[in-house]
């Protein structure tokens, strides 16, 4: 007790304030970069999620619209439908050829199509004079603008009458909105029409198919799988809302409402660019342009016409922007951890202010804290490193060293970081490092080359550390993207492969064909294309079931593969339709390959499982053969020629090879 002096009140107060404020400031300064990185990671995750959701929505919209367009084209080419229209256009010549039973059968067939496809509301057959000759289903009213079942003044009839075979006209989701009463509800519809020609090329009328737009947009919502916090957006070129009634953070939206009125800032951001990203009123807006007239990857249509004023559309995703409050609310563990750190820091400060005897304890605590920080740096889940002005490594944590397979002595002050990056990604790293040297933040997605020759995909984010205005070293955080890259590659492979047969699909065929055509131009060799369709495949599904049909498709695929070379590419392009790309193959040799396939399929037994027994089926196939012209840059024209040959083979009795090289 001797020599101890009471601390003056003012001095004690000052020391207590310092003991509280200094630790709070230091801890905050230490945690802010970590929280900032965490926030950036969260935002990057939202970017990735939004891109995936937009891609899923685009594919769902394109798939449903293309399937509907193909259905219209298929109906327009039905012989029974053409014949029925011909009886109404020239009744004095053919009226006895179509009996009442045939009319009833055709009507029931069309009713079945509409009733089994909820995306359609009605199907109407119109003759050359605009008279309605058949409707499915009969219960659907013709509409307020159609009088006496006559359609001659409607846009879908007048515009379709101007088109060529396999051309389509789409009514616009724009100023003149079309609605129908379906199951007691008034819903918007999109009318799709196409002209009907007979075998001699004479125009016989128009086929009209109305699409249930509420159903299609409902499927779009399902494909995008948005949470309750996110919203999907779809507007036309005039900014009119094209989705069902939706409650958005910015207000209630119903079909046809102007987005410029509901959310002018959002519409202005979407109208100025084809695609992009914007932050508006604490919301993240991602959008891209969609045009169903041109983006028809699987459609068989020739040309698609509509009112260009209302195209293209804008598809978007609206997500709430993460805030520190929302981040802390979601990460309660982080909140408690922060509170614990602050509490400990304040407690140590108060103890230091009250008694100088606690100095040693506080120093030890600081040492332990420094060790923890160092351990956090060395064993963080991400890599850290620092480079000098020449790009030589001056510091690197153990996590990144373990990725590379080197020891610290082998790398630090001995290697330039650029030597650890694969040659093809060095330009991206060089640019990012130049940005750091120019007092800017730099980032690059690169591939690291490990000691054992393996590659590890990473994202590097770096900034410069300066002292007295001079560059000292860079500070970089390295995030491992290897698993994400592997997942992306796996998803890309799945997107290019038919899940049933294991062969590639139409998308991969078109992509690979473009590269093969370019190679053929350089090396001056021929390319041939074969399209195949299994004859009477629908009969197999109807009589033996779809499981038997799947067995046939798999066995058929294995049979054809055994007849091809390693460089030949077999793809499934439809239900029972296949295509074979034959590089370095003249047309005559391709015909021999097609004939060999036809004969093998004709003579090979195909076993299918039916209930508890096994049945042997005998199949035939029709094939179309053509050459890919030297002037063609894509496979579109060649596929069309080969399909024409295939259709001729069908018309000539099936089980044959037809060449169409014109």
Residue 42: exposed, middle, or buried by beta-carbon count in 10 A (0-12, 13-18, 19+)?
middle
Residue 88 to residue 65: CA distance in whole angstroms = 30
Q: How many CB atoms lie within 10 A of CB 606?
A: 20
In angstroms, rounded to a whole number, what is the distance separating the alpha carbons of residues 517 and 559? 27
- Omega of the bond prior to 137 within 30 degrees of 0, cis? yes
607 touches 544 (CB < 8 A)? no
Please calculate the CA angle 94-96-99 and round it to the nearest 5 degrees: 120
The token duo for 74 is 């298929």
Sheet containing strand 527-534, edge to edge, reads 504-505, 569-572, 577-583, 527-534, 621-627, 657-659
Residue 25: other Cβ atoms inside 10 A: 11
Contact 7, 341 (CB under 8 A): no
For the question of residue 576 being annotated catalytic, the response is yes
What is the DSSP pairing of strand 203-212 with strand 185-197?
antiparallel
d(CA 619, CA 608): 12
**From CA 451, how far away is CA 401, in angstroms rounded?**
10
Rg of the chain in Å (alpha carbons): 34
In 3D space, the residue among 122, 128, 118, 159 whose CA is nearest the CA of residue 143 turns out to be 122
Q: Which of 180, 400, 516, 576 is catalytic?
A: 576
Burial classification of residue 94, based on how many CB atoms lie within 10 Å of its CB (0-12 exposed, 13-18 middle, 19 or more buried) = middle
Distance between CA 466 and CA 271 in Å, rounded?
Answer: 43
Quote the distance between the C-alpha of residue 312 and its chain's center.
Answer: 18
The beta strand positions in 244-363, using DSSP E, are 246-248, 251-253, 276-280, 283-290, 304-305, 313-320
- H or E element in which residue 239 lies: none
First-to-last alpha carbon distance for the chain, in angstroms, is 112
Work out the widest C-alpha separation in the chain, in whole angstroms: 132
**Do 530 and 513 contact (CB within 8 A), yes or no?**
no
DSSP conformational letter for 604: S
Could you give the residue numbers annotated as active site?
A: 576
């Amino acid at each position: 007790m001797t020599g101890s002096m009471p601390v003056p009140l003012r001095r004690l107060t000052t020391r207590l304030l310092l003991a509280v404020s200094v630790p709070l400031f230091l801890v905050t300064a230490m945690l802010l970069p970590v929280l900032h990185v965490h926030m950036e990671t969260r935002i990057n995750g939202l970017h990735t999620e939004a891109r995936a959701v937009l891609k899923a929505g685009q594919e769902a919209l394109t798939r449903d619209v293309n399937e509907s367009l193909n259905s219209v084209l298929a109906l327009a080419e039905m012989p029974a439908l053409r014949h029925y229209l011909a009886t109404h256009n020239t009744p004095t010549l053919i009226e006895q050829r179509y009996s009442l039973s045939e009319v009833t059968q055709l009507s029931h067939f069309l009713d079945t199509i509409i009733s089994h496809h909820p995306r359609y509301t009605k199907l109407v057959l119109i003759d050359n004079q605009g008279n309605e000759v058949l409707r499915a289903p009969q219960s659907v009213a013709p509409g307020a603008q159609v009088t006496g079942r006559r359609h001659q003044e409607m846009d879908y009839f007048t515009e379709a009458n101007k088109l060529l075979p396999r051309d389509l006209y789409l009514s616009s989701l724009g100023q003149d909105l079309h609605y129908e009463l379906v199951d007691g509800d008034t819903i918007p519809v999109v009318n799709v029409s196409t002209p009907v020609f007979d075998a001699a090329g004479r125009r016989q009328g128009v086929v009209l198919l109305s699409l249930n737009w509420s159903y299609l947009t409902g499927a779009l919502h399902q494909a995008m799988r948005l949470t309750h916090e996110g919203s999907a957006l779809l507007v036309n070129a005039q900014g009119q809302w094209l989705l069902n009634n939706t409650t958005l953070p910015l207000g209630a939206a119903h079909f046809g409402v102007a987005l410029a009125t509901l959310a002018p800032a959002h519409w202005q951001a979407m109208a100025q660019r084809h695609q992009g990203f914007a932050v508006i009123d604490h919301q993240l807006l991602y959008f891209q342009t969609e045009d169903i007239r041109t983006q028809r990857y699987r459609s068989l249509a020739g040309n698609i016409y509509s009112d260009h004023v209302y195209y293209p559309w804008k598809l978007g995703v609206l997500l709430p922007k993460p805030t520190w409050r929302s981040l802390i609310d979601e990460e309660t563990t982080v909140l408690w951890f922060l509170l614990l750190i602050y509490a400990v820091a304040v407690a140590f400060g108060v103890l230091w202010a009250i008694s100088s005897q606690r100095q040693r304890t506080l120093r030890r605590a600081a040492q332990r804290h420094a060790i923890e920080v160092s351990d956090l740096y060395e064993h963080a889940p991400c890599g850290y490193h620092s480079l000098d002005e020449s790009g030589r490594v001056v510091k690197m944590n153990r996590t990144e060293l373990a990725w590379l397979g080197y020891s610290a002595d082998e790398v630090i002050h001995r290697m330039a970081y650029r030597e650890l990056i694969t040659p093809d990604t060095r330009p991206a790293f060089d640019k990012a490092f130049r940005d750091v040297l120019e007092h800017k933040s730099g980032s690059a997605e690169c591939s690291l080359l490990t000691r054992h020759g393996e590659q590890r995909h990473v994202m590097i984010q770096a900034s410069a550390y300066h002292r007295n205005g001079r560059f000292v070293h860079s500070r970089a955080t390295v995030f491992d993207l290897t698993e994400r890259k592997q997942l992306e590659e796996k998803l890309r492979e799945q997107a290019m492969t038919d899940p049933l047969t294991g062969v590639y699909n139409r998308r991969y065929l078109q992509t690979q064909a473009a590269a093969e055509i370019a190679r053929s131009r350089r090396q001056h060799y021929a390319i041939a294309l074969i399209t195949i369709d299994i004859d009477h495949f629908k009969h197999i599904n109807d009589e033996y079931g779809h499981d038997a049909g799947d067995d046939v498709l798999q066995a058929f695929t294995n049979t054809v593969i055994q007849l091809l070379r390693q460089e030949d590419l077999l793809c499934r392009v439809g239900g029972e339709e296949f295509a074979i790309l034959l590089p370095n193959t003249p047309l005559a040799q391709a015909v021999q390959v097609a004939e060999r396939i036809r004969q093998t399929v004709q003579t090979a037994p195909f076993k299918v499982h039916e209930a508890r027994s096994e049945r042997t089926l005998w199949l035939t196939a029709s094939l179309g053969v053509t050459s890919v012209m030297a002037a063609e840059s894509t496979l579109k024209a060649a596929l069309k020629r080969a399909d024409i040959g295939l259709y001729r083979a069908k018309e000539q009795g099936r089980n044959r090879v037809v060449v169409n090289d014109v």
